[in-house]
């Protein structure tokens, strides 16, 4: 299928862009002009040098890479923006970073390696709720964070930038059979879209995590959904929040 863009692209612009990138003055002029035309230019704070900014802008034009450009102006890829608008879930352990970090076992007991890093009052509050709940399967005290991405070096390598860290309760649930395994990340998010949006509308402070083929039960692998309820939701009505989440996941009336 022929690619179409709103505006026609100039052909063979690489040589021109290379000349601009070799001249620091030209890079600075380009960045200044861009900033002047931003509708929120008084608040614009770019973490890149003029040379890095120009490289990102011109490469994005050549490669049709919108995420590379968005990274340079707001430290978010396209999918970061969706994620932090709560429009798609977070991936379990994205970019090889453990997130969320589970600190209790299947019986609600604090794991030994976290005895010095989890606050006693947080654990005791969780444990009191856990032991009094009728349905507490696959419920854990955990730590989780929201993130975007940023350039981390002069070579414009990309790394995670933590936006918010919380302690709370993590529920892990197998997704229903109606959600089929999808090949791409975008297809997977489409498959869980209705469930996730309903969760966000009813539990607006929750983080939703998604794992494709990551839940292992008796040798069988399933897609899983994680609902992380931060400590502000942990403090009260946890059982009601859990029931609400399960009703949405399994479409109970």
Residue-wise pLDDT for 123-150, tens only, equals 998 898 888 887 788 899 999 999 988 8
Paired strand residues for 140:
170
Residue 145, domain member (yes or no): yes
Whether residue 170 is found in the same domain as residue 232: yes
Q: Do 92 and 29 share a structural domain?
A: no
* pLDDT, position 178: 47
Confirm whether pTM is higher than 0.85.
no
Q: Are residues 93 and 179 in the same domain?
A: yes
Tell me, yes or no, whether 80 lies in a domain: no
Quick one: tokens of 184? 């791409």
- Verify that 68 and 134 share a domain, yes or no: no
What range defines the domain where residue 240 resides?
Answer: 88-249
Q: How confident is the model at residue 234 (pLDDT cuts 50, 70, 90)?
A: low
| Domain contains 81 | no
Work out how many domains the chain is built from and give that number.
Answer: 2
**CA distance to 144, 150, 209, 252, per residue, from 244 (Å):** 21, 35, 17, 9
Domain boundary among 36, 51, 74: 74
Q: What is the pLDDT of residue 253?
A: 44
Residue 6 belongs to some domain of the structure: no
Rounded distance, CA 193 to CA 198, Å?
8
The structure tokens listed for 81 are 């923006």
Last residue of a domain, one of 50, 74, 98: 74
The domain boundary residue, chosen from 74, 104, 122: 74
Q: What number is the average pLDDT over the span 85-92? A: 87
Residue 44 pLDDT > 60: no
The per-residue pLDDT for range 200-218, each reduced to its tens digit, is 888 888 889 988 655 455 5
Could you give the maximum distance between any two Cα atoms of the chain, in Å? 69
């Amino acid at each position: 299928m022929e690619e179409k863009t709103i505006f026609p692209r100039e052909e063979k612009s690489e040589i021109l862009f290379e000349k601009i990138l070799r001249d620091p003055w030209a890079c600075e002029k380009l960045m200044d002009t861009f900033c002047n035309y931003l509708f929120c230019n008084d608040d614009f704070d770019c973490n890149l040098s003029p040379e890095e900014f120009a490289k990102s802008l011109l490469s994005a034009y050549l490669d049709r890479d919108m995420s590379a450009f968005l990274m340079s102006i707001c430290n978010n890829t396209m999918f970061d923006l969706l994620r932090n608008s709560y429009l798609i879930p977070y991936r379990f352990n994205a970019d090889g970073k453990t997130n969320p970090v589970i600190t209790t076992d299947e019986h609600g007991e604090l794991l030994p390696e976290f005895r010095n890093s989890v606050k006693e009052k947080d654990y005791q509050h969780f444990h009191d709720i856990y032991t009094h709940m009728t349905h507490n399967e696959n419920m854990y005290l955990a730590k989780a964070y929201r993130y975007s991405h940023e350039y981390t070096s002069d070579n414009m390598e990309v790394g995670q930038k933590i936006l918010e860290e919380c302690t709370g309760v993590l529920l892990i649930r197998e997704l229903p059979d109606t959600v089929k395994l999808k090949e791409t990340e975008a297809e997977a998010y489409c498959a869980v879209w209705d469930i996730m949006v309903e969760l966000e509308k009813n539990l607006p402070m929750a983080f939703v995590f998604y794992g494709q083929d990551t839940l292992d039960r008796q040798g069988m692998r399933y897609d899983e959904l994680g609902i992380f309820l931060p400590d502000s939701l942990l403090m009260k009505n946890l059982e009601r929040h859990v029931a609400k989440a399960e009703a949405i996941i399994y479409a109970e009336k």
